[in-house]
Structure formats: C-alpha cells, structure tokens
C-alpha cells in the first residue's frame, strides 16, 4: 500500500525519507530519522516499533543489517512487514516479507533505497531509484520529490492516492523539513506546493534554528529578515505569486 525512498545526501550528510500511499497519514508511522545518524522507513502491515527501536539502536552504533535481522527474527508478523534503513556508516538493509501484497519488493543503491508493496508493478521502485540517481544536481528535498513523482508516474500504489510525506533531518533529531499531505486527491502535488511555501519563510528560519553545537542558534533577526525579504523580491521579479493559503498581513 506504500512506496518510500530512504536516502543520505552525500554532499551534506542530510538524511531524508519520502513516502506515498493509498492510506491515511503515511507520514505519521513510516519515517523515523535521527539527525546525522540514521533513517528507517517501516511500512506494509506496519509495525512502528521497527522504526523506533531500529533508529535508537543504530544511534548507539549497531549496524543496520544486524538490527533488521533481529527485528525480523523477533516479530511473528514479519512476513507482512516491509522496512528499509541506513545507518551513520552508510550500511543499508531492507526486508520485504513474503506475505506482503504484490507487487512488492525493494532495491538498494549507493546511499539510497526504495521499497514498496501493493504497487502497480516493479517499475514503480526502479523508476523512483533511477530518477533519484539521475539528478544529483538537485537540492536534496527536490531530488526526493522528483524521485517519488517518477514512481507515481509509473503507477504508484495500485489502489490510488491518498497521502504523502517528506521528512529531512540535518544534524538534529528535530526535522529541518517535515511536510505531510494526510488526505488529499493528489498528495505529491500537495507536497510540491508545501515545499514551495516553505521556501518563502520557513526554510530561512530552519537555517538558523538552534542546534546541539550552537544552543542559541541565531539571535540577531536582521540577517533572517533580510533573507526573507530577498526571497520575496526574487519571487516578484520572477512573477511567481505565493502558493500559500495564509491570510495576508
């Protein structure tokens, strides 16, 4: 019922997960990320504990393949589970249970994996991976969305569309970007709209948020206000109206 991509951006070390499904609120249970350390997507007849425990154990230094093998061995429902993950050393692991609904499977590349179940066909995950690998020039969020859109064009979830999510972490356990369309007729298009709106103000603020290495973050608002104003001016020059539903000040 879901396909997802888990990736580590080699240029920045950012970790990201994007997912889409004909299921409500796919972003609430599938993605689990620990900033700078690991990422897990757990899906199919989902067991969220795979994501929570898997991420915690990778944070402590355990290898992704060892953790996943243990989760499979302990879970009596593993035949209906699907998961894929990457740890801070770049080690990856994936599991597609034998009772996951066709089409189901996973594919692993360098620093990226794609997995899905109840799909229109294998091409959904192969096209998702190919699109990600074909666009290293794109910013990480755009690259993940482009990959997911390729999977949708290949048929996506064979039942249709309902929800989608995009989550990216930098160095912290709170997300740099966390977008969700929980119940929408075209959820990936909605993520595109939300990503565009995020670039107006939100991502400028996210750039200067406090971190564990810089507890106070940026306390001088002047550079932030200048960056937001510059973004607004650039959009005006390009003739791009805001896509936000927010009321005007």
Alpha carbons 107 and 5: distance in angstroms, whole number: 10
Contact (CB, 8 A) for 16 and 9? yes
What pTM value is reported for the model? 0.96
Low-confidence residues of the chain, pLDDT below 50? none
Angle between helices 187-198 and 140-153 (to 10 degrees): 170
Give per-residue pLDDT as tens, 30-42: 999 999 999 999 9
* DSSP structure class, residue 147: H
Residue 249's pLDDT is: 63
Distances (CA, A) of 172 to 64, 111, 195: 20, 19, 20
Give per-residue pLDDT as tens, 57-91: 999 999 999 999 999 999 999 999 999 999 988 89
Beta strands at 105-109 and 112-117: parallel, antiparallel or unpaired:
antiparallel
Contact (CB, 8 A) for 151 and 183? no
Contact (CB, 8 A) for 29 and 44? no
């Amino acid at each position: 019922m879901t396909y997802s991509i888990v990736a580590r951006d080699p240029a920045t070390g950012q970790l990201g997960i994007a997912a889409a499904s004909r299921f409500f609120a796919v972003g609430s249970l599938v993605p689990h990320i620990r900033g700078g350390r690991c990422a897990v997507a757990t899906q199919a007849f989902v067991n969220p504990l795979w994501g929570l425990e898997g991420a915690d154990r990778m944070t402590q230094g355990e290898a992704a393949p060892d953790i996943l093998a243990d989760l499979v061995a302990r879970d009596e429902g593993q035949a209906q589970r699907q998961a894929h993950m990457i740890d801070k050393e770049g080690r990856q692991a994936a599991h597609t249970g034998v009772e996951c609904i066709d089409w189901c499977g996973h594919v692993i590349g360098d620093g990226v994996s794609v997995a899905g179940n109840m799909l229109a066909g294998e091409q959904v995950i192969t096209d998702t991976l190919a699109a990600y690998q074909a666009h290293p020039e794109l910013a990480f969020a755009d690259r993940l969305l482009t990959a997911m859109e390729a999977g949708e064009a290949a048929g996506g979830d064979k039942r249709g569309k309902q929800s989608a999510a995009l989550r990216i972490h930098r160095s912290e356990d709170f997300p740099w970007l966390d977008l969700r369309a929980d119940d929408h007729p075209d959820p990936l298009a909605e993520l595109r709209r939300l990503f565009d709106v995020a670039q107006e103000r939100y991502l400028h603020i996210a750039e200067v948020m406090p971190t564990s290495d810089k507890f106070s973050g940026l306390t001088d608002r002047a550079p932030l206000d200048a960056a937001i104003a510059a973004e607004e001016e650039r959009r005006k020059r390009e003739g791009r109206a805001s896509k936000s539903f927010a009321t005007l000040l």
